Structure 1
């Protein structure tokens, strides 16, 4: 009798018209992992690679309020890598990262500038 009582909620829920909705989306995954497909290269590495220059990219990290964490260069580089991937690139060189204070909208800001590249696969 006890096992039957324990199984009744399972049986009742199996007959219910239950739907599961989630915010998980393939596009969200693709967007999240996009920077991981872009390699950061040093200028010295480019001499040995076959690549195509796609354009200039930048990424920023901003502290818009005193209660937010301070900006960091890693976040700015990741955004620059995402923008390189949006251009069809799989590589990037970071030229420099600069820190600014009291710019409109940000108490502190770090911007990283770089070049998006399409690097040919090595055989």
Structure 2
């Protein structure tokens, strides 16, 4: 009897003309997961890879106001990986991350520079 009472709302809603609307957009999911398709490589690994050099990229993390979180190298790396993905790449070799203070618009800033790569998949 208890199961029937718990199942009644589900059965009743199944017969209703119910529409589900959301503000989620497929593009947001694609953009959110885009950096995960870019692998970080060390310079020493390049000798063993078959790759195409696409160009240089940079990512930054900026603290504009004192009540905001401090910038992080992880955020700067993620932004660089997103830019690599936008270029059609799937690999990134980071050259350097630098912490800067007093730059225009930022109290503190971390900028990471790297090389965007298109690495051939192993067969």
Please give the range of the TM-score, normalised by the shorter of the 2 chains. Answer: 0.7 to 0.9
Aligned to 2:98: 98
Provide, for residues 55-86 of structure 1, a one-character-per-residue CA deviation record: whole Å limited to 9, x for no partner: 11000000001111100101000000000000
SS of equivalent residue, structure 1 residue 106: coil
Structure-2 separation of matches of 1:50 and 1:12: 56
SS of equivalent residue, structure 2 residue 88: coil
- Structure 2 unmatched ranges of 5 or more: none
Structure-1 separation of matches of 2:58 and 2:13: 56
Report the number of matched residues.
119
SS of equivalent residue, structure 2 residue 102: strand
Provide, for residues 10-44 of structure 1, a one-character-per-residue CA deviation record: whole Å limited to 9, x for no partner: 858965x6543212121111100010000000000
SS of equivalent residue, structure 2 residue 99: strand
- Structure 1 unmatched ranges of 5 or more: none
SS of equivalent residue, structure 1 residue 80: helix
1:15-34 matches, within 5 Å, as: 15=16, 18-34=18-34
Superposition TM-score, scaled by structure 2 size: 0.86
Aligned to 1:83: 83
Give 4+ residue runs of structure 1 displaced > 6 Å after superposition. none
